[in-house]
A and B are shown apart, each in its own frame.
Chain A
Amino acid sequence: MGSIDDVLADIADDIDSVFLFSPNGTFYERFADEERVVVVAAENTVDADTFVELPVEFTDIKDRIEFGIEGAMENNLVEAGNTVVCFGSIFSDDADTAVRVRVGEDHRSGLYELFTNSRADPSVIRDVVEVALELGRKGQKGSPVGALFVVGDAGKVMNKSRPLSYNPFEKSHVHVGDPIVNVMLKEFSRLDGAFVISDSGKIVSAYRYLEPSAEGIDIPKGLGARHMAGGAITRDTNATAIVLSESDGLVRAFKGGELILELDPEEH
């Protein structure tokens, strides 16, 4: 037993901060004496002073921890070179995991910025990701579909694209996040082309053919024209592209021409 205690002591040895991922009240209470506790959760249920909001429940524990650390770095709660220990739960609702992480500059993957520092409202990005995930889970009438949402900087995106057909959203005032609109988006996802969504979440257009210059865009091999277009438009504009792949069913987010986030709808 001595060796197990030693290993656990090594993990918790000489740390700068403690990260608690979605802790329950009693678990948080146990850290009341600790100086630097950062709570990372979807909602601040324990009234923690230092709190990083999780926009989506990342099922990948690595994504979740990276998001938490990046958020803490952006808010100057930790800095590069610090060592932190993270407590989270993977299998049960109670804390069952301890991870020791050394914070480095390479943790700035842009995942936190994707949600909090994009042109569009954080809630709009979150809603679009949710719609894409749901669309990926259910597909259109059972068969897998692909979709491309370009969120934010809509004026510029509209000038860098052209209509493939009449815009079904012309003179309409629909915003993402509305349950009815999510159904509409699902119905329209069988159309070719991209959805353009404004900073405040208004659906500006469907059926858009994006015309960015795709030179020098580096996306993973095997992804198609939809991802290429989505990635490229985010380099030319300040928009964020959220792409649901028809072939592998994953939801990917691009910003600044780079792949930032990859989510599997089946796991969410």
Chain B
Amino acid sequence: MLSVLQFVVPEWLAVISPRWWIAVGIVVVGIALGYLTMRLGRRLLIRLGIDDAVEGTAVERAAGEYGTSTVGLITKLAGYFVIVLSVFIAGTFTNIQFADLFLRAAAVFLPQLAIALLILLVGIIIGDKVEVLVSERLRGVKLPEIGVIPATARYSVLFVATLIALGQIGVATTALIVLLAAYAVALIVFTAIATQELLASGAVGVYLLLTEPYSIGDEVAVAGQRGIVQEIDLFVTRIETDGEEHIIPNRTVLRDGIVRMQ
């Protein structure tokens, strides 16, 4: 039996060229390395606290539905990348001509694709996280329209992530960058115009709160309104007379001055 086996195996080996055996060996090592990457990556990400950071985002929830997690997703991506890479390296040891050119192109393109995918994934996660954070801050505001703001923040992050990812794999993104710039400029300009009254009042409000030239209970006259100060906050001062409450923006207080009744 043994002699038969000894005889058969070399011949069987000889049919397939040694290059193939090397290629198979590389793939096996690649799979092992990929598996190792998954395990180590998982530990590393968990130690970095990534799993806590992505808690509650849509990606985490979607991943949870398929029985995995964001950490699992990222490590799997890295692991499969190592395995696919080993397959390509193995491919160079075989003599398959038709695949050669394709493989050369793919060897350059594939890492970029993997990085682009990773950037996209991270972008989605950060976008989700931003949405969760913003909506938590706005939870006190019970307006149905307020849901637009967290969504806008999320899609802005997503848009930038998509841009970077597309840039990574060499898609022409000039038009999109122009769009992004226009969007950013519009956002800044409109915010500045919309909030200039608030900003001015807020700046004065900080001064009023810090130095407290008048305080709650004082009788004052501002902008022709005489009454008792009921409340001073960052943006407005509330002054009450008999049955009337005047809400005066703080910038008016500084511009017109205030008279304290002794």
Given contacts A155-B240, A173-B209, contact A204 B228 (CB under 8 A): no
In the complex the two chains form, what is the Cα distance from A55 to B230 in whole Å? 25
Alpha-carbon gap, A238 to B1, bound state (A):
107
Instruction: Tell me which residues from 198 to 226 in chain B have a Cβ below 8 Å from any Cβ of chain A.
Output: 209-210, 212, 215-217, 219
Known contacts A159-B217, A171-B212; is-contact A199 B228 (Cβ 8 Å)? no
Closest 9 CB pairs of A and B: A158-B217, A155-B228, A155-B230, A204-B216, A154-B216, A171-B212, A155-B217, A198-B231, A155-B229
* A127 within 8 Å of B (CB atoms): no
Number of A-B contacts (CB under 8 A): 38
Q: How far is the CA of A186 from the CA of B209 in the complex (A)?
A: 25
- By a CB distance below 8 angstroms, the chain B residues around A153 are 230
A200 interface residue per 8 A CB criterion = yes
Cβ-defined contact, A204 with B209, below 8 A: no
Chain B interface bracket (under 10, 10 to 19, 20 to 34, 35 or more)? 10 to 19
Within 8 Å CB of B219, what residues of A? 159
B235, chain A: closest CB distance, angstroms: 12
Interface range on chain A: under 10, 10 to 19, 20 to 34, or 35 or more?
10 to 19
Give the nearest-CB partner of A157 in chain B.
B217
Is the pair B215, A170 in contact by a Cβ cutoff of 8 Å? yes
Task: List, in ascending order, chain A residues with CB within 8 A of B240's CB.
Answer: 155-156
Query: Are the C-beta atoms of B228 and A159 separated by less than 8 Å?
Result: yes
Q: A199, B215: Cβ atoms under 8 Å?
A: no
Output the nearest chain A residue to B227 by Cβ-Cβ distance.
A155
Give residues 36-63 of B contacting A (CB, 8 Å): none
B233 in contact (CB, < 8 A): yes
What are 18 A-B pairs with beta-carbon distances under 8 A? A154-B217, A154-B231, A155-B217, A155-B228, A155-B231, A156-B230, A158-B216, A158-B217, A159-B217, A170-B212, A170-B215, A171-B210, A171-B212, A198-B230, A199-B230, A200-B231, A200-B233, A204-B215
Inter-chain contacts of A171 with B (CB < 8 A):
210, 212
Residues of B bordering A, CB below 8 Å: 209-210, 212, 215-217, 219, 228-231, 233, 240
Task: Specify the chain A residue showing the minimal Cβ separation from B233.
Answer: A200
A204 to chain B: which residues have CB within 8 Å? 215-217
Task: Give A63 Cβ to nearest chain B Cβ, in Å.
Answer: 27
Task: Give the CA-CA distance A168 to B73 in the complex, in Å.
Answer: 56
Q: Which residues of A contact B215 (CB under 8 A)?
A: 170, 204
Known: A154-B216, A158-B217, A199-B230. 9 other contacts (CB 8 A): A155-B228, A155-B231, A170-B215, A171-B210, A171-B212, A198-B216, A198-B231, A200-B231, A204-B217
**Contact flags A144-176 to B (C-beta < 8 A → 1, else 0):** 000000000111111100000000001101000
Residue in A closest to B219 when the chains form the complex, CB atoms? A159
Distance of B245 from chain A, by nearest CB (Å): 10
Query: Are A199 and B231 in contact (CB-based, < 8 A)?
Result: yes
Contact with B along A190-204 (1 / 0, CB 8 A): 000000001110101
Task: Specify which of B209, B216, B231 lies most central, judged by the most chain A CB atoms within 10 Å of its CB.
Answer: B216
B212, B215, B233: residue with the most chain A Cβ atoms closer than 10 Å? B215
A19–B150 CA distance with the chains assembled, in angstroms: 37
**Which residues A186-222 have CB closer than 8 A to chain B?**
198-200, 202, 204
Question: In the assembled complex, how far is the CB of residue B216 from the closest CB belonging to chain A, in whole angstroms?
Answer: 5
By a CB distance below 8 angstroms, the chain A residues around B228 are 155-156, 159
Closest to B239 in A: A155
Question: Which residue on B lies nearest to A161, using beta carbons?
Answer: B217
Min CB gap B30→A, angstroms: 52
Give Cα A127 to B51, complex, Å. 35
Q: Which residues of B contact A159 (CB under 8 A)?
A: 217, 219, 228
User: Whole-angstrom distance between the alpha carbons of A170 and B209 in the complex?
Assistant: 11
Inter-subunit contact A155/B233 (CB<8 Å): no
> Could you say which residues of chain B place their CB within 8 Å of the CB of A156?
228, 230, 240
CA distance A65 to B103 in the complex (A): 77
